Amino acid sequence: MSERFLLFHKPYNVLSQFSESVLPDGTHHQTLKDYISVPEVYPVGRLDRDSEGLMLLTNNGQVQHRLTDPKFQHPRTYWVQVERIPDAQSLQQLRQGVLIQAYRTRPAQVRLLPEPDLPPRDPPIRFRKSVPTAWLELTLIEGKNRQVRRMTAAIGFPTLRLVRVAIGNLRLDNLAAGQWRDLTTTELRLLRG
């Protein structure tokens, strides 16, 4: 079987797995199987059901290991909509690492973003007239469970929407929610770099 490398824009409310997930009422969660019919590829890392954005899938176990093992410090970039507007001191806490569940995160790169050009989420995030929101660009080199959400909550700015826009040199760019494509020759060369 030849190697396959796919980029997928995971929509909100889709599980990062191919196996079926049945809810107590008998309905099914959407999974990667509802979007990707390529056999024998597996996600490199995960995105929670309530997160959106870029996923890489492959059948190459060595590449999968290199991209998910924390010792390789592979960067992942997220656009994060948070409740209220973080001040410089709060952003500095993220840059230094924050304590979540008795674990200090590695330092992150973070900056305030103008509102990005993203399609509306379905369902939309909750809106409160009296509470402003802000967007952050956050780059991590580790991937603990629900880490971004826990980090922003730890500094007092709960995450409302989370979109992964990059995995290393791979970018979400114009890939629409629910679409996937094979990596280009250039992307493959950079990935193997």
- The rounded distance, in Å, linking the Cα atoms of 103 and 97 is 10
For every residue of 25-74, DSSP letters joined together read: TS-B-EEGGGT---TT-EESS---TT-EEEEEEES-HHHHHHHH-GGG--
Q: What angle do CA 135, 139, 145 make, to 5 degrees?
A: 95
- The rounded distance, in Å, linking the Cα atoms of 165 and 79 is 7
Q: Which residues are catalytic?
A: 48
Cβ partners under 8 Å of residue 28, min gap 6: 20, 21, 22
Handedness of CA 28, 32, 37, 42 (dihedral sign): negative
Residue 55 near residue 67 (C-beta atoms within 8 A): no
